[in-house]
């Protein structure tokens, strides 16, 4: 086979178009085994994995020799005939004619045996060649695509907020500070404040970008760098916000079910749970949430925030995501509008995923009154001058508006059934890890 034979390669996701024909494929050796004189190679090309069968009289002398030398993750080109193989997940196999090693692989560190998580994270740059990690990232891709399609189909304009920001959005305790030509700025915690400006100009906008929090939390839900999607709508209240959230989440789950069955299968995800994710989602108030905790025998004081265990107890009562609204304003952000019926409450909503995956969405109706907002900023000890532009939005044609933020990694974790968010992003950043 020629050096550049890969130029004519067939990608394995298109292999069905070549049934009965001779093709060249190019990829990496996933695994190899023998049965008597027959050798079976599993070759992955990033799209799929295919079984290549090497038998004497069919394969070249060279191929028979090379098979013995091939190590796990060596890169190679294979030529051969595409046959049907009903037993394999792909449905096809290749009867090998010739093989050429392109790049040998010596002592590949991730063998099919079990490895510890620290080791795997240290080898993250290789780890996502493995089947399950590969499936998670493909589903992440599908979710991102669904998110963009959802907003495009619903007339939201993409509105990219800055990453360097002069002010805190989500509390001052989790800010990453950086020097900006002698000034102090922060990596953004949320694009929301900017999205509010966008909503006043475009009606409906969404942001999609990385956000940063210096979270000291060592939970399986926290990253220091994560991706957030934040729709913001002018002329919308908390009910409209919840309507959007349930439509949005259902749309995403439906897409994954339609397009990513093979990956869900690799991950052994219970599909029946995902199939229940259709509107309407249950809506309960924070205070009703406490009732559920009390029924479960928990002693919970009104005014405290729900912990991981509390969220799990509440979400376990329902077979689909539950929307918890009207939290005590004291534990919520400065920009949230108070409930006109009860000043102690914020018009906030958290969406809790089923099966203990916790909060995937946080949102609210925003305070739209200038004077109230000035008071709030002062009360939260935030610098008024950094919020001058934000206050302008209440000065020039203020309207009721609402929005939310969906955490991408937590959503991927829930849909794929992955316990820890560190496996849902190519290179996770946590308090322990910025390498590789
Ligand atoms: O609830 P949060 O803090 O809300 C906001 O940032 C609002 N400004 C959003 C808005 O109304 N536009 O964060 C929103 C979501 C959470 O529900 C969670 O899914 C995710 O972002 N999130 C994290 N994900 C991973 N690691 C972290 N440290 C996260 N912090 C929040
Ligand atoms: Mg939140």
Specify if 432 maps to a domain: no
Same domain, 97 and 211: no
Nearest CA to ligand 1 atom 20: 407
Question: In terms of residue numbers, what domain contains 306?
Answer: 124-423
76 in a structural domain: yes
Q: Tell me: do 243 and 371 sit in the same domain.
A: yes
Task: Check whether residue 164 and residue 249 sit in a common domain.
Answer: yes
Q: Which of 204, 228, 422 to mutate to test the pocket of ligand 1 (most atoms within 8 A of CB)?
A: 228
Q: Which residues of 236-256 are buried (b: 16+ CB within 10 A; e: fewer)?
A: bebebbbebbbebbbbbbebb
With a 6 Å cutoff on the Cβ, whether 411 touches ligand 1 is no
CATH number at residue 40: 2.40.50.140
- 291 shares a domain with 175: yes
Which residues partner with 304 through β-bridges? 302
Ligand 1 pocket, residue 196 CB under 6 Å: no
| Same domain (yes/no): 276, 364 | yes
Check the CA dihedral 128-406-198-155 and report its sign. Answer: positive
Shortest-distance Cα residue to atom 2 of ligand 1: 362
Query: DSSP labels for 56-107?
Result: TTTS-HHHHHHHHH--TT-EEEEEEEEEE-TTSSSSEEEEEEEEEEEE---S
**Residues whose CB is less than 8 angstroms from the CB of residue 314 and which lie 6 or more positions away in sequence, other chains included:** 284, 289, 292, 293, 306, 322, 324, 352
The last residue of a domain, from among 49, 68, 103: 103
Both 92 and 133 in one domain: the answer is no
206 and 252 co-located in one domain: yes
Q: What is the pLDDT of residue 388?
A: 96
Q: Is residue 348 part of a domain?
A: yes
**167 and 97 in one domain?**
no
- For residue 273, with 0-12 CB atoms within 10 Å meaning exposed, 13-18 middle and 19 or more buried, which class applies? middle
Domain assignment present for residue 50? The answer is yes
Last residue of a domain, one of 68, 103, 138: 103
**Backbone dihedral angles phi then psi of residue 18, each to the nearest 5 degrees:** -120, 25
Task: Return the CATH number at 217.
Answer: 3.30.930.10
Q: What is the pLDDT of residue 317?
A: 96
Q: Based on the structure, what is the number of domains in the chain?
A: 2
Do residue 68 and residue 135 come from a single domain?
no
Atom from ligand 1 closest to the CA of residue 407: 19
- 92 shares a domain with 137: no
40, part of any domain: yes
Q: Which residues surround ligand 2, an ion (CB under 5 A)?
A: 362
Q: Which ligand is nearest to the CA of 402?
A: 1
Query: What does each of the 436 residues of the chain score in pLDDT, given as a tens digit?
Result: 999 999 999 999 999 999 999 999 999 999 999 999 999 999 999 999 999 999 999 999 999 999 999 999 999 999 999 999 999 989 999 999 999 999 999 999 998 888 999 999 999 999 999 999 999 999 999 999 999 999 999 999 999 999 999 988 888 889 999 999 999 999 999 999 999 999 999 999 999 999 999 988 788 999 999 999 999 999 999 999 999 999 999 999 999 999 999 999 999 999 999 999 999 999 999 999 999 999 999 999 999 999 999 999 999 999 999 999 999 999 999 999 999 999 999 999 999 999 999 999 999 999 999 999 999 999 999 999 999 999 999 999 999 999 999 999 999 999 999 999 999 999 999 998 999 9
CB of 168 within 6 A of ligand 1: the answer is no
Taking Cα atoms as reference points, which of 48, 44, 31 lies closest to residue 111? 31
The answer to whether residue 108 sits within a structural domain is no
Residues 282 and 198 in one domain: yes
Please report whether residue 93 resides in a domain: yes
* Cα–Cα dist 425/434, whole Å: 13
How distant is the alpha carbon of residue 305 from its chain centre?
A: 25
Last residue of a domain, one of 72, 103, 134: 103
Neighbour count for residue 91 (Cβ, 10 Å): 14
Q: Assess if residue 431 is contained within a domain.
A: no
Q: Which pLDDT does position 224 carry in this prediction?
A: 97
Three-state DSSP at 350 gives strand
Ligand 1 close to Cβ of residue 225 (< 6 A): no
pLDDT at 216: 85
Going from the Cα of 359 to the center of ligand 2, the distance in angstroms, rounded, reads 7
The answer to whether residues 139 and 99 belong to one domain is: no
Residue 184 is predicted with a pLDDT of: 93
Instruction: Please tell me if the CB atom of residue 260 comes closer than 6 angstroms to any atom of ligand 1.
Output: no
């Amino acid at each position: 086979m020629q050096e550049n034979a890969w130029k004519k390669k067939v990608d394995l996701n298109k292999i069905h178009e070549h049934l009965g024909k001779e093709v060249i494929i190019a990829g990496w050796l996933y695994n190899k085994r023998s049965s008597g004189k027959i050798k079976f190679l599993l070759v992955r090309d990033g799209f799929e994995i295919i079984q290549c069968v090497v038998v004497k009289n069919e394969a070249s002398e060279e191929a028979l020799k090379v098979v013995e030398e091939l190590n796990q993750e060596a890169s190679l080109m294979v030529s051969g005939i595409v046959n049907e193989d009903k037993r394999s997940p792909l449905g096809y196999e290749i009867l090998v004619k010739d093989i050429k090693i392109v790049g040998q692989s010596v002592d590949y560190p991730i063998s099919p045996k079990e490895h510890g998580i620290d080791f795997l994270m240290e080898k993250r740059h290789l780890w996502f060649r493995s089947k399950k990690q590969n499936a998670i990232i493909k589903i992440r891709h599908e979710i991102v695509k669904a998110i963009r399609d959802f907003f495009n189909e619903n007339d939201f304009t993409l509105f990219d907020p800055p990453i360097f920001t002069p002010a805190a959005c989500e509390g001052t305790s989790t800010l990453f500070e950086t020097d900006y030509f002698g000034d102090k700025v922060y990596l953004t915690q949320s694009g929301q404040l900017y999205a509010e400006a966008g909503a006043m100009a475009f009606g409906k906008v969404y942001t999609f970008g990385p956000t940063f929090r210096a979270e000291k939390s060592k939970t399986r839900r926290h990253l220091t760098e994560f991706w957030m999607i934040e729709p913001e709508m002018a002329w919308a209240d908390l009910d409209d916000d919840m309507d959007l959230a349930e439509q949005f989440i259902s749309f995403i789950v439906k897409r994954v079910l339609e397009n990513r069955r093979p990956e869900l299968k690799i991950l052994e995800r219970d599909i029946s749970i995902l199939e229940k994710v259709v509107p309407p989602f249950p809506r309960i108030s924070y205070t009703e949430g406490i009732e559920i905790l009390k029924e479960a025998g928990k002693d919970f004081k009104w005014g405290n925030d729900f912990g991981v265990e509390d969220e799990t107890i509440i979400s376990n009562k329902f077979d689909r995501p539950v929307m918890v609204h009207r939290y005590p304003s004291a534990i919520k952000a400065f920009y949230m509008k108070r409930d006109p019926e009860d000043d102690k409450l914020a018009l906030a909503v958290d969406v809790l995923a089923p099966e203990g995956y916790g909060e995937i969405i946080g949102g609210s109706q925003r305070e739209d009154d200038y004077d109230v907002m000035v008071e709030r900023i002062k009360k939260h000890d935030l610098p008024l001058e950094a919020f001058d532009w934000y206050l302008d939005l209440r000065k020039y044609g203020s309207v009721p508006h609402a929005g939310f933020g969906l955490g991408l990694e937590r959503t991927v974790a829930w849909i794929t059934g992955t316990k820890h968010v560190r496996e849902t992003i190519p290179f996770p950043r946590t308090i322990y890890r910025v390498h590789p």
